[in-house]
């Protein structure tokens, strides 16, 4: 199989296309044939060495991807070949408070990510894709969409009539805007900060 690998944390020029034998799922794992991936700003930070210490190199990048299950490992009963799934950002965190070990299972950071033709993931580290979503659509959800949902819905308890402030036009902001509109047409304010030559900055409100 083919996959992209960061050979050093010196930028995207350190990406190298590599070939290896297709992996086999270990007990408790599923093998996913990756059909689509998406980029987050976090992926650029990883590539540029700005995501903090402890990122192993070489590394297969990207936290977000979707595809179908090509094989299941021993003991896996909740999935079957052909199921459409997306990987979860943290491979060993399903629910409850986030514990330290969850951060050690972050795709495309602490462990290899999704930028490969096939990836072996935990059977508990994938989630079914609804039939109305394409692979490309599902691949955008695990990082940016869940961050926005957690901020607005899980923690923020958003309700109709509230005002939501989003910064810029990145993935988290755009998902937050959509989720705000879903919850009763909540008002929103969008601030985009632009840097000009020299020390002055301007802000534009929409």
Q: What is the pLDDT of residues 90-101, one digit of tens each?
A: 999 888 888 888
Whether CATH 3.90.180.10 fits 1-138: yes
How many other CB atoms are found less than 10 A from the CB of residue 3?
21
Kindly report the number of other CB atoms within 10 A of residue 103's CB atom: 14
- Domain ranges in the chain with CATH number 3.90.180.10: 1-138
What are the residue ranges of CATH 3.40.50.720 in the chain? Answer: 140-206
Instruction: Please tell me the number of Cα atoms within 13 Å of 7 on its side-chain side.
Output: 6
**What pLDDT, on the 0 to 100 scale, is given for residue 153?**
93
Q: pTM of the full predicted structure?
A: 0.85
Task: Considering the domain delimited by 140-206, tell me its CATH architecture.
Answer: 3-Layer(aba) Sandwich (3.40)
Asked if the model's pLDDT at residue 200 lies above 80, the reply is no
The label of the residue with tokens 């659509």 reads 137
Q: Is the pLDDT of residue 184 over 90?
A: no
**17-38 residue pLDDT tens:** 999 999 999 999 999 999 999 9
Residue 70 has a pLDDT of 98
Query: Does residue 201 have a pLDDT over 70?
Result: no
Q: Which two tokens stand for residue 128?
A: 């079914």
Q: Give residue 187's pLDDT.
A: 60
């Amino acid at each position: 199989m083919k996959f992209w690998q960061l050979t050093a944390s010196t930028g995207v020029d350190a990406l190298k296309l590599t070939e290896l034998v297709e992996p086999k799922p270990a007990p408790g794992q599923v093998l996913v044939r990756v059909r689509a991936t998406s980029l987050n700003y976090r992926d650029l930070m990883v590539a540029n060495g700005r995501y903090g210490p402890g990122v192993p190199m070489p590394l297969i990048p990207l936290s977000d991807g979707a595809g179908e299950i090509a094989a299941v490992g021993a003991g896996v009963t909740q999935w079957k070949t052909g199921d459409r799934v997306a990987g979860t950002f943290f491979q060993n965190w399903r629910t409850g408070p986030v514990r330290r070990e969850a951060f050690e299972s972050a795709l495309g950071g602490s462990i290899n990510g999704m930028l490969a033709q096939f990836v072996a993931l935990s059977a508990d580290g994938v989630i079914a894709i609804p039939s109305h979503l394409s692979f490309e659509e599902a691949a955008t959800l695990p990082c940016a969409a869940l961050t926005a949902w957690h901020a607005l819905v899980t923690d923020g308890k958003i309700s109709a009539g509230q005002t939501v402030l989003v910064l810029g036009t990145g993935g988290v902001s755009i998902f937050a805007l959509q989720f705000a509109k879903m919850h009763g047409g909540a008002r929103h304010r969008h601030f985009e900060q632009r840097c000009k030559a020299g020390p002055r900055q301007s802000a534009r409100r929409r």
